[in-house]
Structures are given as structure tokens and as C-alpha cells.
A and B are shown apart, each in its own frame.
Chain A
Amino acid sequence: MVSKQLLLAEDDELLGSLLRFRLQKVGYEVAHVTDGKQVKEHLGEDIPDIIVSDIMMPYFSGIELIDYVRNELDSKVPIIIISSAGNEENVLSAFELGANDFISKPVSPSELLVRVARELNKT
């Protein structure tokens, strides 16, 4: 089976490293980027099977990312948003723009794995 490609956009390296490790461990091919510029570059080359993105990122927020993917790229790739507590407005707008799911910080890697698998099962 070809492993699923996952784009992880998380500017916090600590959290990012942990999540990348756990996702790779269960067989995803993970590209980890730490800011919005890199996200755009990456999406320019290829659209992954699923995107996991923090809301707060330098240059290009998670919200803008959803808008970009849904409207500019016109892609229905599942997007899971990572939000910090106290940012409910952002989560609402994320859903309105077409995010599929969200998970709030502090992120439990096991929970993220379940959420990712669930979104991929839907498609």
C-alpha cells in the first residue's frame, strides 16, 4: 500500500517534531513545514492526502491556508486545524471556510492520529 502523504504546518518545533514522529511511526509520509511561505511552496508542487495545520503561524495563518486550498486550489483535501485554547472565533471561521475538524492545544498525539485516520476514512 502506498503511504498517505500528510502536510503538517506547525511553527512550534517542539510540538511539530513530536507530531511528525508519531505520524511517521504509523506510516504516513509527513512533510513538516513551520511557516505559511513554506506551506504555499509545498502546495504548489503537490497536494497531499491530508493537511494538519496550526491556526497561528508566521506569514500565512491556518485560516488563510484553508481559504487558499478551498478557493485558489479548489481542492477538497481534508484539513484538520490545530487551535490554541481561547481562539474559538478562529475555529468557527475555520469551519465556515471548510475545515473538516479541529483539535485544540495541548495536542494529544494519539487523538490527532485518530482524527487524521477518521478524515482519511471518509474520503
Chain B
Amino acid sequence: MKKRDLLEEIDSLRFQLNNLSFDTVDASEANALLNRFRKLTDSAANATKEQTPDLDLKDRDEQPNVSQTDHETGLQVVAQVSHEIRTPLNGIIGFTELLGESMLNEAQMAHVSAIQSASNSLMEIINELLEYAKLATGNISFETIDFNLSSAIKDIDFLCQTLIVADRVTLKTHIDPTIPEFLLGDPAKLGQILLNLLGNAVKFVKQGDISLHVSLKEKTEKIVWLTFVVSDQGIGIREEELPYIFDRYRQVGNSESTAGGTGLGLSIVKKLIDHQKGNIAVSSVFGKGTTFTFELPFSISTAGTVLEQPTKSAIERELLNGLVVLVFEDNTLNQRLIAERLNKWNCKTFVTDDFHQGMGFLQENVVDIVLMDLKMPNMDGFEISKNIRQHGTTRISEVPIIALTADFTVKDKKKSELAGMNGYLLKPYRPEALFKILLENTTPMEKNKDFDNYNGTMANGQDVEAHFTLDDIMSDCMNDVSLLEELIRLYKQNAIEFIGAAKIHLEQSNFKGLEFALHKMKSGLAMMKTYSLHAIVTEMHTCCKAEKDLKHLNYLYQSFLEEYPLVENQIEMALTSIKQQKS
């Protein structure tokens, strides 16, 4: 397949994926897509192989006649393939996840899992290709960070358990307890190695045990050597094939094998281990099983504890509540995906692919963080970031900017730093990763407006009085005082109606009625930014939905009654001051 044909094929696939909707996809179509992708990636692999007899750096050195340009063209194709496919695929995976969280019947659930597994294997293939290209050019860096070995292994174990479909397959992991708990190294790369080996085992073993044993080989004051043994009772590998097992593009037992993949997995594993100065060996008895044994060195961490971030949805909502996020993203699928994700966390989100619309939003709103897709049609993410950094208003020029990208090279990293961006998030990302980056790049003060004000009021009424302002709503009203007055009148009317209705509903324990009254009250409170009341009403709403704790509801209602006159007073004072400014 010619390079141009390949790109055309990619384009047509991208078109198909962009037009995909969940009403139309079923398992067979998802499989058809998967097959097309397999064909495509095979051709891509062949194309790159033809153009560059060897992508491998070491081998390349032995063959000095391969020109640098050929080599780069080949890698370019690989990079292009992976980027073009990852973007829409990222949308599919994310939406499928969201879809799986909604109310579905059994048949729909089955369709969703079919899409999920098909798109996940696609992503695996693409990632393998990209990974290989990066490894082959030495374009990959290893991290040295503190990590907890047993929890890293636990994560891998969990991931692999989810891959097992046959119920006659068991996976057991065992870690030598004498290994220091905290190590210094690259847990992600270790995970990649183990996932590859265990993933292979899960793929090939139809029945029997798969095990992972981690033991201490050697320990000095600063360094440990660990031995990892991955064994399975699968079909095994023929003796004559063993020497070639770590070669590229080779899937042992080609003709009979039905397992998918690029066949790059084991050569990636080998390279990852070599890069870390470790070693790997394989032994197998055909028909009985296979054992991979590898050894890796790690430093012993001096940090006593490693931070873990368990994220519970309730805490998540609280932590990011009210965060204002501006997202630059051109892919409509991703636009919707990220907006829905952020809304789940009660963030206020505005998504656009247009520079001017984005700047308009930045000017009219106090934005807490900007998420920036790097590849966009008119003006790319680097340019937009530069423009934001050069803005005359500090509030805008200093807003945190995080790059969103399906592929981030060392060059991109430098470019993004030059453009003044604060960090990056690789697509596809897990919700946890997005959450973490939002949390890390915004200050707690901004995130907990509601909560802080609520506490502030409860502790000290005067405190909030000093902060209360109608300026925001006034600018929403475009400085029209008569409209502002009209809104305040409606606001008061709402509140009085609410106070009356809630009293009756509470007396009659009518949760449904109360819920409706609360709902009606809530948006007005948010609009006027009377956060102390909003926090009370929000808590009442939560209690009410659960249809319990009438006592607490009554208590909250009393708080509302006590708080309301104070707030009304603040509004009156703010209104008077606005009128004075006007005249």
C-alpha cells in the first residue's frame, strides 16, 4: 500500500468514525470497524517496514546505508496513523464509558460492552504502534519517581483480571514481603511490561493458571534487583520459535493464531527492559505453558510515604464545584465528552474551537483554568496560548493553561513551555487524570466559593457582608439598573414563596413538593450569587432527594430563615451603592 493510499484510507476511517452514533453502532459493525483497522495497521506496519528496512536504532547503526530521510518518513507515517486514529477513538471510548454509566437495559448493556472491547483493542494496537516508533527512535524518557510497588502490582492485577473472559482461567500475584514497600523508578513502564506479558497470557490461555511472582534477587543499601516471573499454562511456544520471540512483527504460530495485535508487544517489552539495564528470558514447553523471567533494578525510595489519590465522586463534586473551565477543542465528539465530564463535577464549562469566542468568554468570565487542544484548524493551541499570555489583563494572562493532546513529543513539550502553558494531559485520559490535573492547577480558594462562603456566614455574618457584591449580575444586566431592580423584586418574591411553600411541605413531610420548591429557588440564588443561601438550599435538596432526615431538613430550613434577612439586607445595600455610582 502506498503512503498516499494509506492516508486516504485513514481519512475515510476518520470520516466514518466522526459520523458514528450510538444509535447505529452494534457489535457487528464495531467488529467490522475493528477488522478494517487491523488491515490498516498491518499495511501501515508493512509500509513502514518497506520504507525503512529497520526502525530499530541498534540495527540501523549496523546498516549505515539506510538514509535518515527514509527512516523519518517511516516514523512520520506511524505517528500520523496513530494520531489520526486516536483522536476519534478517544471520543468513542469516552462516550462509551458515559453511556455505560446511564440507565441501560441488558441488551443495550451488551452492545455497550461490545463497543467498549472493540474500541479498546483498537486503542491498544494504535498505542503499540506509537510506542514502538518512539522506542525505535530513542524518543522515550524514563521517569524516576517514588511509588508503592505492591499497589502498582495490585493495579496491574486488577486490569488483567478485567481482561479475563474464560472462567477457567485464574490469575494470581505474589510479592515477596521482604521487598521494600517504596521504590524509585518508572512504575508506568513497569506496568506496561507486566500488562504486555500478563495480557498475552490472558489472551492465549484458555484454561489454567497464570501467575506473577515478584521476588528480591539482590539488595544493597540503595538499590534492589527484583525478579519478575510470569508463568502460564497456555499453549506454549515451539522450541524452534523461541529464539525469535522478541523480534518485531512476529506472532508465534502465525497460521493458527487468532489473537489480535500488531505483534509488537514482546519487542516493546524487550526494549523497555533493555533501556532500564535489565534482562529478560523465556522458557516454554510446547503444549504445557510459557514462563517469562525478567530482572530490573530499582532504587530504594527515601520518601516514607507515597501519596495516593482515591477519588470518590462526592468529594470530587465538592472539590471542583463551581470551577469555571474554558475548553478549546475542535472535535465535536470530544467537545461533548469533556463538557459532560466536567459537568458531572459541577464545573461550569464553555467549549469552543474558535479563538475569538474563547477570548470573549475569558473577558466576560473569571475563568479558573483553560484546557487546550493543540491541533485545531484555524489557530492552533500554541498560538492561542501565546495570545492569552500576552493579554493586557492579568486575570486573563495568568490563567492556567493545560494542553490536551493525543500525542506529545519532546518538541511539543518545549513549544508548549515557550507558549506559556502550565502542563499537559495525554489523550485518551482517564477521568481521574483530568480530575487530578484540574485540582493541581487551580487554587482551593477559587474552587470552594460556595463552601467557603457558607462556612464564613455561619461563623461570622459580617465577614461575607464585606464581600457581597451585585457587580456580576449588574454586568449580566449590561448596567441596566431598572432590569436589576426587576430581578431583585422577582428574587424576593421567589424567596417569600419558597419560605411559605417549604413550611407547608415540611409540616406535611411532602418531599416531592419540597424538592420542587427547592429546585425553583436554587437557580435564582445561584444567579444572584447569594452563596450562603445557595449552600443551604443545595444541602436541603440533597436531603430531600434521599427522602430522609426530616429533622436535619427542618434545621436547615431554620438556618435559611435566619440567614435570609441578612442576605436581603446585603442586596439592598449593594443596590443602593450601585445607584449612587450611577447618579
Contacts and interface: CB of A to CB of B under 8 A. Distances in A.
B477 A108 contact: no
Contacts of A13: 490, 494
A109 B476 contact: yes
Interface stretch (B75-83, B358-366, B387-395): B358-366
Given A95-B336, A106-B523, A110-B364, A18 B487 contact: yes
A25 B478 contact: yes
B527 interface: yes
B357 A114 contact: yes
Given A84-B522, A109-B476, A92 B343 contact: no
Contacts of A118: 357
Q: How large is the interface on A (under 10, 10 to 19, 20 to 34, 35 or more residues)?
A: 20 to 34
A84 B523 contact: yes
Nearest to A93: B102
A52 to B, nearest CB: 14
B340 interface: yes
A84 B343 contact: no
A107 B522 CA distance: 12
B524 A14 contact: yes
B487 A88 contact: no
Contacts of B480: 21
Interface string B52-88: 0000000000000000000000000000000000000
Contact of B346 (A15, A85, A114): A85
Nearest to B335: A101
A111 interface: yes
Nearest to B519: A56
A104 B490 contact: no
Contact of B523 (A21, A22, A102, A105): A105
B interface majority secondary structure = helix
Interface string A98-123: 00001011111111001000100000
Interface in B501-554: 519-520, 522-524, 526-527
Given A95-B336, A96-B23, A104-B348, A15 B102 contact: no
A17 B476 contact: no
Among A56, A105, A114, the most chain B Cβ lie within 10 Å of the Cβ of A114
Contacts of B524: 12, 14-15
B435 interface: no
B458 interface: no
A37 to B, nearest CB: 17
A114 B476 CA distance: 14
Interface in A17-44: 17-18, 21-22, 25
Contacts of A14: 487, 490-491, 494, 523-524, 527
A18 B527 contact: yes
A102 B335 CA distance: 12
Nearest to A56: B519
B98 A92 contact: yes
B454 interface: no
Interface string B483-506: 100110011001000000000000
A106 B483 contact: no
B477 A21 contact: yes
A46 to B, nearest CB: 27
30 contacts: A12-B520, A14-B487, A14-B491, A14-B494, A14-B523, A14-B524, A17-B487, A18-B527, A21-B477, A21-B480, A22-B478, A25-B478, A85-B346, A88-B340, A89-B103, A91-B340, A92-B98, A104-B343, A106-B348, A106-B523, A106-B526, A106-B527, A107-B527, A110-B365, A110-B476, A111-B350, A114-B350, A114-B357, A114-B361, A118-B357
